[in-house]
Structure 1
Amino acid sequence: MPPPALDLSADDARRIALRAQGLLGAPDRRGGVRGVLRHLGAVQLDTISVLARSHELIPYARLGGVGRRTVEEAYWTQGHSFEYWSHAACILPVEEWPHFAFRRRAYRSRPHWSHDLPDGAYDTVIKQLRAEGPLTATELGGAKNGGEWWDWSASKVAVERALMHGEVVCTERRSWKRVYDLAERAIPDAVLHDDLDDTECLRRLVRLAGQALGVGTRADIADYHRLKGEQFDAVVAVAMPLLAGGRLLGRVDPAREGRTLVARQVSLDGPRAVAPMAQALREAAEWVGCDSVRVERIDRPELTADLVRALG
């Protein structure tokens, strides 16, 4: 069942949000800048600088006058963080690397930019980084072709694509230029993997967003790490459990469309959960007067055909 509704006044919501963001009460300086980063889950980078850049202002607002050099060193030294696409370009705690596997997989399946990439350019950039160590785009051969700012050189297109795919990581900003290195060299072995499925990644990011915001609308929480609506819905759907043989084998988010029971999201513990889930869905459909069942999403795609077949 969904949790009971909780009424909040505007003042309650404001205080919860400010406290969750570390902006209410005495500052907790024990974790320093890195503690702020881990608490927030992401710190956005921005090219605009009036008083200071946004990633400097965020710890300043929570910790007071921390030296600007101290801020930069906290972010970029000793492998504590990396830069990747979250809400936008963000500094992220290095332990969150596995939870962006869903985004890296998406970028690999469909390149984000339409820039043409000459044959061999990608491999050339990887080889140069492997041989020479961390480099900026300028050091890789130049960032621009000489036209507008978006007119990137082949080496810049290649290294940015490698960054999105996860083969390369940004480990530092030097004079506001990204410094690229091989992920296999810069990311600790313990977290250098893409083993988590999309659902596990998304649950973690939704939980981080909720903790950092304290209170927010569906859109607020989804936008924290720029999750799409369907991604957000898939992990916050109402969790009806499947209990069979004394064990929790799965969950389903059900709805009705006319005389069809719709399983909007199905989570299965493994192949042994297929038959009990099919039986539970058929029984639930009959109970509410539906004569068919439609499955929309399954967290284990390899079991889709088996479940559909079991449903008959």
Structure 2
Amino acid sequence: MLFSRLGAYSQAWLDEALLRGELMEYWAHEACFLPRHDFKLIRHRMLSPEKMGWKYRAAWMHEHAEEIEQLVRHIQEHGPVRSADFEHAQKGVSGWWEWKPHKRHLEGLFTAGKVMVVERRNFQRVYDLTRRMMPHWDNVRQACLALCVMAGK
């Protein structure tokens, strides 16, 4: 998408813009990079993750709630993480959907807007808590305001 809009661009530019907080990564139509100031326009999707693509996300998040809470506490105490930062006993498994548990936890939190991608390291997502990245955000107030503005257009 970026190439079709911008032409050839440097991957370093994209990584730096993400790191500076100018861009964010989320699901618009597909996974994409958006201006961070558009957070208000997609927050409603994050607050209703059951409508997003991962069919079994809610069941996974419920089944692994304790581990996920530990992961959130870990991020709160130690800062941004990658799924690669966590060991998993099952080695040698690969493939697009053979994600280890921490990757699934992080993707579930990402879809629900609990964490954001703050940078990429060697193409790996680095996640931090949304409340740390958007400290002044008020879900109810901002979402209502954004919807009112859109309705008035």
TM-score range, shorter chain: 0.7 to 0.9
What is the alpha-carbon distance in structure 1 between the residues aligned to residue 4 and residue 67 of structure 2?
37
Percent of matched pairs sharing the same residue: 22
Q: Specify the SS of the correspondent of 1:138.
A: helix
Q: CA deviation at 1:87?
A: 1.8
Any gaps of 5 or more consecutive residues in structure 1?
Answer: 1-43, 45-54, 204-234, 240-312
Aligned residue among 123, 126, 131 for 1:184:
131
Q: Specify the SS of the correspondent of 1:120.
A: helix
Return the TM-score normalized by structure 1. 0.40
Any gaps of 5 or more consecutive residues in structure 2?
Answer: none
What is the alpha-carbon distance in structure 2 between the residues aligned to residue 181 and residue 153 of structure 1?
19
Q: Specify the SS of the correspondent of 1:178.
A: strand
Greater mean deviation of Cα atoms: 164-173 or 194-203: 194-203
Q: May I ask how many residue pairs the two structures share in their alignment?
A: 145
Q: What is the aligned partner in structure 2 of residue 70 from structure 1?
A: 13
Map 1:107-146 to 2 at 5 A. 107=49, 112-114=54-56, 116=60, 117-141=63-87, 146=93
- From the superposition, tell whether residues 178 and 80 of structure 1 become closer, same or farther in structure 2 (CA, over 3 Å): same
Supply the AA of the counterpart residue of 2:116: V
What is the alpha-carbon distance in structure 2 between the residues aligned to residue 80 and residue 156 of structure 1?
25
Greater Rg over alpha carbons, structure:
1
What is the alpha-carbon distance in structure 2 between the residues aligned to residue 201 and residue 140 of structure 1?
42
Q: What is the aligned partner in structure 2 of residue 165 from structure 1?
A: 112
Higher helix share: 2
- From the superposition, tell whether residues 177 and 193 of structure 1 become closer, same or farther in structure 2 (CA, over 3 Å): same
Larger relative CO (CA 8 A, sep 6+): 1 or 2? 2
| Corresponding position: 1:91 with 2:33 | yes
Supply the AA of the counterpart residue of 2:139: D
Return the TM-score normalized by structure 2. 0.75
- From the superposition, tell whether residues 86 and 60 of structure 1 become closer, same or farther in structure 2 (CA, over 3 Å): closer
